[in-house]
Amino acid sequence: MSPEIHHDSRADELLAIRCVLGERDAFDELIARWHEPVWRYLRCLANSDDATSDLSQDTWLRVMRAIATLRDPASFRPWLFGIARRAAMDRMRRQYQWTVDDSAVLEELPAADVEEAALESDLALLESGVASLPLPEREALALFYLRELRIDEIAGLLGVPAGTVKSRLFRARCLLRAKLQNEGVIP
């Protein structure tokens, strides 16, 4: 584990402890720090900004109501994304159907990749490539490239072995590469 990640984990644990204690300021900091990554993750699962905003609100309500009973503040990050995921799955169950995203966000991809796809038209193709991935691969890709969760944390959150997460990531990259090659975006 790199020193930076270790430092972030400690900062997250400290923030989580302050929330469990019931400090009002800590909740403001928590929301400021985690709203964007959670929103981006949910945007990858939802099919519109409006749906993402609803899911985000639902997630944060659940967080505020459940954090008092958080037993292990050290595992705050997978706990948070687990709540976001459950909120999204509950919504999907309510809708009784799943529509493929038609506008998945690109922010999950590493900055270097985005820089490589410099032209706007290429970005649009990349975007449609991510959106065309099956849900398990798209979700693993989003969680991993948000750079917020490690493989073992994603595995715990999704309830699958670490090897499955790795294979989903591998498959996602292959599918995305094949799609982009077919579109002529990359050689």
Partner 1 sequence: MNPQRQSLEHIRHLAGAELSLKARLAHVALLLASLAMAAVIASLWLTEPLLPMRTQIAFGVMALIGLGWSAFAIWVLRARRPLYARDSVIAGRMAVTFTSVFVGGAIAMVVTGNAAAIGMLALGVVMLAAAVRILSDARRRFATLNARRAELERA
Amino acid at 146: L
Q: Residue 42 Cβ, how far from partner 1 at the closest point, in Å?
A: 10
Decide whether 54 or 183 has the Cβ nearer to partner 1: 54
In angstroms, rounded to a whole number, what is the distance separating the alpha carbons of residues 13 and 44? 26
Q: Which two tokens stand for residue 150?
A: 């490690």
Taking the alpha carbons of 40, 45, 50, 55 in that order, is the dihedral positive or negative? negative
**Shortest reach from residue 115's CB to partner 1, in Å:** 22
Distance CA 112, CA 178 (A): 19
Q: Considering beta carbons, is residue 18 or 166 the nearer one to partner 1?
A: 18
For partner 1, give the closer residue by CB, 67 or 104: 67
The nearer residue to partner 1, 9 or 167, going by C-beta atoms, is 9
Kindly report the backbone phi and psi dihedral angles of residue 70, in degrees, each rounded to the nearest multiple of 5, phi listed first: -65, 120
Closest distance to partner 1 from the beta carbon of 37 (Å):
11
| Amino acid in position 128 | S
Q: Which residues bind partner 1 (CB under 8 A)?
A: 10, 13-14, 17-24, 27-28, 31-32, 35-36, 39, 49-50, 52-53, 56-57, 60-61, 64-69, 73
